[in-house]
Amino acid sequence: MPDDLTTHRAIEAVWRIESARLIAGLARIVRDVGLAEELAQDALEIALKKWPTSGVPDGPGAWLMATAKHRAIDLMRRKSRYERKLEEIGRDLETQQSWVEVDDSEIDDRIGDDMLRLVFIACHPVLSTEARVALSLRLLLGLTTDEIARAFLVSEPTLAQRIVRAKRTLARKRIPFEMPEPDELPDRLSSVLQTIYLVFNEGYAATAGDDWMRPSLCNEALRLGRIVAGLMPSEPEVHGLVALMEIQASRLRARTGPGGEPVLLLDQDRSRWDRLLIRRGLDALDRALEHPGAPGPYTLQAAIAACHARALTPEETDWEQIAGLYEALAIVSPSPVVELNRAVAVGMAAGPAEGLELADALLDEQTLANYALLPAVRGEFLEKLGRHDEAKQEFRRAASMTRNESERQIFLKRAGGAR
């Protein structure tokens, strides 16, 4: 009999990989995002009961999809208020005998469009900006309500209600589960790009858990970004986002050491950076910059990433240019996080005292009250200024704030290394 703990860990891993695609596929069938998520959760519960005894099946994603579809048919038969719609869907499903035996490759072949449709549904204009982002984080990343609430700096009940209302709005408005018409794409573009980048960032630096990265999410975000760039080739910010993700993804192999330990940017072996992805990113950046007008926030961030990509060694990094780009970014897309990043660049270009002064100016920012990188940045500058005891204290504060275990270990190591 399989070990229960090992099986449960395997189920958790499968769920993290498959949940978004499972919900996307189910939403296409039942035409209801909330119902699709419920059916996916039902399939997970069944797996948690069966797999510890039977073992994880070959093609676990297909197993979950088939189980969820069975649950969908059962639900269709029970709920009279959905009778007409659900009977039609149920008949369609029952006549498609092949889906019971479908394999992972077949799921992947059709899931691609479903995932993109799910992004556009979650970013529908009938939802508020906050609701779009919250629903996207829930459906596409599988983050818990608590994790999303922390990101929004709101209470968990408030965030839960926001997600529930978003699902109800989509159902009440009968939003079709399909790609919008070409003339409707621009209205959703900003939210779609934000969602795709949120997916990428969660893969690049996980907000919680033991994993330092979730590369599968980076790959999924890149794939979606490239599709959107094909749909909207005249939109510079689409190319800017793709450029940013390509260049950042080029570092993935170098972000961990031989033992799986995290490796920060300036300590990375740059020979491990993927030069093909860098070239693709630089080409996408060129396409973004070809368009008239001032560059947008994703294009500016891609230009910053390009400065790092073009430097063969950390010492060759053009920090003055990076600081200038952050200054421009602060005008286009002002935020305390951008100002903190500018402080880092200024500190590298002009010295730690100047960087610390900028970082200190952010201490009263409420949105950074629980942001681990603020004390981490201050600790870095304090260490360089020889204020070792203060640096140690800041790194310990950073360790207490992060919810990612790998990041916590980085900060604790820095606290121990501070003299």
Q: Quick: pLDDT tens for 218-228.
A: 888 898 899 88
Does the structure show a pLDDT above 60 at 123? yes
pLDDT above 80 (res 137) = no
Residues 275 and 387 in one domain: no
Hey, how many other C-beta atoms are within 10 angstroms of the C-beta on 390? 16
- Name the residue range of residue 158's domain: 123-175
State the pLDDT confidence band at 92, using cuts at 50, 70 and 90: low
CA dihedral 44, 105, 197, 145 (to 10 degrees): 0
- Per the model's pLDDT, the better-predicted residue between 158 and 153 turns out to be 158
Classify residue 256: in a domain, yes or no. Answer: yes
Rounded CA separation 303/284 (Å): 11
> What value does the mean pLDDT take over residues 394-404?
92
Beta-carbon contacts of residue 277 (< 8 Å; ≥ 6 apart)? 246, 247, 249, 250
Residues 204 and 305 in one domain: yes
128 and 222 part of one domain: no
Query: How is residue 215 written in tokens?
Result: 């590369």
Q: Are residues 11 and 97 in the same domain?
A: yes
Q: Where are the alpha helices (DSSP H) in 79-144?
A: 83-95, 104-122, 129-141
pLDDT confidence of 154, banded at 50, 70, 90? confident
Q: Strand, helix or coil at 208?
A: strand
For residue 10, pLDDT over 70 is answered with yes
The whole-number pLDDT of residue 56 equals: 85
Residue among 259, 265, 264, 303 nearest 284 (CA): 303
Residue 117 belongs to some domain of the structure: no
Measured CA angle at 141 (ends 170, 217), to 5 deg: 130
Task: Note whether residue 116 is domain-resident.
Answer: no
Which of 108-117, 131-140, 143-152, 263-272 has the weakest average pLDDT?
108-117
How many structural domains comprise the chain? 4
pLDDT greater than 90 at residue 160: no
CA–CA separation, 112 and 220 (whole Å): 9
207: how many CB neighbours lie within 10 A of its CB? 17
Q: Is 93 helix (H, G, I), strand (E, B) or coil?
A: helix
